[in-house]
Amino acid sequence: MKLQSFRFRITLFSAVLASIALMGFSIVSWWLIYDAKVKRLDAEIKNQLIQSTRPQSTQWETYTDSLPSVLGMNGATTVALLVNDRDGNLLYRSRQWQDGLDANSLWRSLPQPPPDPDRIPFELEPPPPPHPPYPLSPIAPLDPPHPDRPNSFSPRERRPPRDRHPQPDRPNSFSPRERRPPRDRPDFPQVFQAKLATRRSRKAVWRVGAIHSPQTQVAIAVNLQAIDLEMASIGNIFLISIPVVLVLVAGGAWVISRSILYPIGRLTTAIRNVTVQGLDHRVPIGSTDIEFLELIFVFNQMLERLERSFQQASRFSGDAAHELKTPLAILQGQLERALHQSEPGSEIQQTVSNLLDEVRRLTEITRKLLLLSLADAGRMSLNWVEVNMSALLAEIAEDMELLAPDLEVQMAISPNLFIKGDRDLLVQVLQNLVGNAIKYNLPQGWLKLQAKCQGKRVIVKIVNSSQDISLSEGDRIFDRFHRGDSTQTQKIEGSGLGLSLAREIARAHGGDIKLDAAILGQTGFILSLPVGDRD
């Protein structure tokens, strides 16, 4: 299911990407930290294995107890030690050593020590003795000190220079160009290569290191429980920090998305202001982001075309209605005079009477079209006066009793309902609504007229018994020139402009008309108008 909020989708998408990135970063960081800790432990184990090959006493238990601190582990870390002789015979096994820690496979994978167990690596050999010192030239004895200057020499007496070169006739001496031949290094295998591996016992995971020496085989095992506990703490930190970071990322994305959607908000405001009075509004480009320039440019072009088309349509309907008024008025006058001059009851009089009715109908249609064109252009002029809706509805009710004496009329009109508006146009609205309630009523039906003040608005509700109105008919009932498809509707005279004009007049007064067809078997219209403040 697609999420309807674009801003929410941006926030959710940012949060998902951030969560994936954070989870990947956490996993990689956790693994790197774990690998660094294991490598540091491996380096410490190797160092201790190499040191264990040096000649030492056989107090391996004391050495085992010192291993945790030497390896940089806490006191609760378990460290085990296994020592065999050159032939694999057990010399020492700490009580922490478990059967699952297989050190033999590590020893077998290491190079074997030299045959002579007394041989030690070249790196541990003592340094060779120094070369015999070169002979020195004889030194002349010092003269006794001057009697006036103790411990001083005569100005002209100097010590003879030392002969820095050995005498050629001395044994064990070398000529200046003679050099000692290079000393041969012994070919000794790398016996101090350590091997490390991870072993699992029944209760724990161990890091085991093994090494060969000419005298012993040594294996050190360290329980990784301490590292696992540290990594668990680090993992908990990641688990706690990730939701917090995600909330911050989501909040930041929500705030940033607001600034991203700001140009769209401006466009929405401009569209909202596009009314009959505001077709000349345009969205200013100004400092708009380049990503929205084309959208705003196209929208402004659409407004220009819409304004031009609307002006042409308004001018056409208004001009046509205005131009038809004069011919229709002349035609109506001629027909009325012909009607009076014709013989009463004659066929000519009947024909002229029918023509006069059609001309009056055309005159009413042109008048409504002219009002609609003015309303569309926002130029409907209103004569604002204070109107007593209670008294006006009472007059309409008296007319209903004369027009439909067979209908059952029920009235509930609150007193002193005052509004500001054009009285003549409001009378036309009420007459249209009441006329429709009478024309489209059922035989021996009923009609209800209600009026009350609700908040800052006057609510007028006109309900009549009628046939059911379908949903499609309800959506189109205010369309111009639209009439119902039922047989009863086709038999009733009308132009299909009354409800449309009534709603435009109500909207010009700041109100509206809505259809209320929620109950089957009846039709109602609700007229709402703002309350006018009395001076």
Mean of pLDDT values over 181-201: 64
pLDDT at 50: 81
pLDDT at 124: 43
pLDDT at 132: 43
pLDDT of 388 > 50? The answer is yes
Inside any domain, residue 132: no
* Same-domain check for residues 213 and 76: yes
Confidence of residue 86 (pLDDT cuts 50, 70, 90): confident
452, 414 in Cβ contact below 8 A? yes
Which residue, 376, 400, 424, sits at the end of a domain? 376
Which residue, 313, 341, 376, sits at the end of a domain? 376
Neighbour count for residue 461 (Cβ, 10 Å): 17
Q: CA 334 to CA 325: how far, in whole Å?
A: 14
* CA atoms within a 13 Å half-sphere pointing along the CA-CB vector of 85: 6
Inside any domain, residue 277: no
Q: CA 446 to CA 523: how far, in whole Å?
A: 11
CATH of residue 335:
1.10.287.130
Structure tokens belonging to residue 138:
């004889």
Structure tokens belonging to residue 220:
């050190």
385, 421 in Cβ contact below 8 A? yes
* Same-domain check for residues 228 and 339: no
pLDDT of 510 > 50? The answer is yes
* Same-domain check for residues 331 and 415: no
pLDDT of 459 > 90? The answer is yes
Nearest 5 degrees, angle CA 267-CA 273-CA 276?
135
**157-166, pLDDT tens digit by residue?**
555 555 555 5
* Same-domain check for residues 390 and 327: no
**396-455, pLDDT tens digit by residue?**
888 888 888 888 888 899 998 999 988 888 988 898 898 888 888 888 889 999 999 988
Inside any domain, residue 243: no
Which residue, 376, 394, 411, sits at the end of a domain? 376
> For the stretch 161-181, what's the b/e string if a residue is b when 16 or more beta carbons lie within 10 angstroms of its beta carbon?
eeeeebeeeeeeeeeeeeeee
pLDDT of 255 > 80? The answer is yes
Inside any domain, residue 98: yes
* Same-domain check for residues 34 and 12: yes
Mean of pLDDT values over 199-226: 84
**95-131, pLDDT tens digit by residue?**
888 877 877 877 777 776 665 545 444 444 444 444 4
Q: Which residues constitute the domain of residue 449? A: 385-530
Inside any domain, residue 262: no
CATH of residue 410:
3.30.565.10
Inside any domain, residue 254: no
User: How many structural domains comprise the chain?
Assistant: 3
Confidence of residue 55 (pLDDT cuts 50, 70, 90): low
* Same-domain check for residues 429 and 358: no
The beta strands (E) that lie in 125-281 are given as: 195-200, 205-212, 216-223
* Same-domain check for residues 368 and 456: no
CA dihedral angle for residue 300, residue 306, residue 310, residue 313, rounded to 10 degrees = 150
Helix axis angle for 423-439 and 389-403, nearest 10°, is 40
pLDDT at 122: 40
